[in-house]
A and B are shown apart, each in its own frame.
Chain A
Amino acid sequence: MPKKILIVDDDPDVRLFLSTLLRDTGFEPLEAADGLEGLELAASGNPSVILLDLMMPRKSGIAMLSDLNNNERLRRIPVIMVTGVTGETGIDLNAFLARGAFVPAGIIEKPVDPDVLIRTVKKALEGSSTDA
Chain B
Amino acid sequence: MIADGEMVMTGRRISENGLLENGRDGVALFDISGRISACNLAFAYLLGYEQKLLQKRPVHSLFRSHARAVLRDHLQDLMILEFITLETVLVGKRSEPISVEAAIAWMPDDHLFKMVTRDITVKKRLDEYRRTYAERLALEVAERTAQLTESQKELQLQKTTAEGIIYGSPIPMFVLDRDHRITHWNRASERLTGFSAREMIGTKRQWEPFFESPRRVLADLAMDCSPEDAERLYAGMNLRQSQVVQGALEAEHFFPHLGPKGTHLFATAAPIEDEAGVVQGAIVTYQDFTERVTLMAELKMREAYLNNLIQNSIDGIIATDSEGLIAVYNRSAEEILGYTPEEIIGRMRYQDILSHETALAIRDAFYGESYGPPGKILNMTTSLLGKQREPIPVRFTGTLILDGEKEIGSVVFIQDLRELQRLQREKAQAERMAAIGRTVASVAHYIKNVLSGLKGGAYVVRSSIAKGDLDLTLKGWEMVERNLDQIGQIAADMLIYAGERSPVREHLNPIELVSEVVELMRERARLAGVELVSEFREDTGKVVMDRTAIYRSLLNLVANAIDACTLKGMTEGEAKVVIIVDRPDGWAVRFQVVDSGAGMDEETQKKIFTDFFTTKGYAGTGLGLPVTRKMVEDQGGKLLFHSEPGRGTTFSLLLPQN
Contact = CB atoms under 8 A, between A and B. Distances in A.
15 contacts: A9-B618, A11-B617, A13-B618, A14-B453, A17-B453, A17-B455, A20-B476, A21-B463, A24-B463, A55-B617, A57-B567, A58-B569, A84-B448, A88-B438, A112-B456
A88 B442 CA distance: 8
Interface string A104-129: 00000011101000000000000000
B225 to A, nearest CB: 94
Interface in B173-195: none
B452 interface: yes
B505 to A, nearest CB: 37
B456 A10 contact: no
A14 B459 CA distance: 11
Contacts of A10: 617-618
A56 interface: yes
Contacts of B475: 16
B393 interface: no
B472 interface: yes
A94 interface: no
B456 A16 contact: yes
Interface of A: 9-11, 13-14, 16-18, 20-21, 24, 53, 55-58, 84, 86, 88, 110-112, 114
In the A-B complex, list the 3 residue pairs whose CB atoms are closest, starting with the nearest: A17-B456, A111-B452, A11-B618
A17 B445 contact: no
Interface residues of B, number: 30
A10 B617 CA distance: 8
B460 A17 contact: yes
B619 interface: yes
B464 interface: yes
B249 interface: no
Contact of B459 (A9, A20, A55, A88): A20
A88 B610 CA distance: 13
Contacts of B483: 13
B482 interface: yes
Looking at chain B's contact residues, the main secondary structure is helix
A14 B618 contact: yes
Contact of A16 (B445, B460, B616, B619): B460
Given A11-B619, A13-B482, A114 B453 contact: no
B617 A20 contact: no
B445 A20 contact: no
Interface in B581-621: 612, 615-619
Q: Identify which of B460, B482, B567 gathers the most chain A CB atoms within 10 Å of its CB.
A: B460
A18 B482 CA distance: 17
Contacts of B567: 57
A11 B452 CA distance: 11
A20 B452 contact: no
A9 B569 CA distance: 16
A58 B476 CA distance: 27
A21 B452 CA distance: 14
Contacts of A17: 453, 455-457, 459-460, 479
Q: Identify which of A13, A17, A56 gathers the most chain B CB atoms within 10 Å of its CB.
A: A13
A57 B617 contact: yes
Contacts of A11: 453, 617-619
B299 interface: no
A110 B460 contact: no
Nearest to A19: B460
B318 to A, nearest CB: 52
A86 B463 CA distance: 30
